[in-house]
Structure 1
Amino acid sequence: MFKMIAMFKKPEDTEKFDEYYFGTHIPLTEKIPGLQRVEVTKFAGDAPYYMMCEMYYENKEAFKEASKTEESKASGKDVMKLAGDSVTFMFGETTNG
């Protein structure tokens, strides 16, 4: 599987961030064609990041195709409106073992 990972720094207002992220952004993201699942992790303690979102695709080619869609573009625009410089993106393939 191929995944896109979004790492979020702690926002000033976590309650407002969470409300928008889970109520607006995630439903928008889940509409992306080819996206197989979304996993969100909130970090505990004094972690350097507040939250991580992992978006899974069948393979890199499926991710590339999904990235061309209007749904993906809308999600990307929305996350930049929400988090801007507070989000870092990484990409990778899962391995077994």
Structure 2
Amino acid sequence: MMVYREFENGWMLAMNDEAGKKVVPDSLFRFGRQFDGRPVIDFWQREGGSGLRGFLPHETENSVRAFLLDLGFTEVRRYDPQGDPELETIAPMLRSGR
């Protein structure tokens, strides 16, 4: 059963159980930049949330990475505007080991 949990730092994520310790399988994230150069986190969850999220003033790339990896997210290569696929497309490739 999927349960959504809202964290104090503003993230609302689909969790794989009511205890809220780990996110649903196939949860991916990567770092990128908006057109104006501001850093963002691109995230996707199978049957859950997806989108872009900016950094809060106190967050760093390392703090966001540690938070998401601890919850069970998989980090993928930083976004490249020259043709990186959407995270939704990457998830099945990671699952099959391609």
The structure richer in helix per residue is 1
TM-score (norm 1): 0.32
So what's the TM-score if we normalise by structure 2?
0.32
Highest RCO, 1 vs 2 (Cα 8 Å, sep ≥ 6): 1
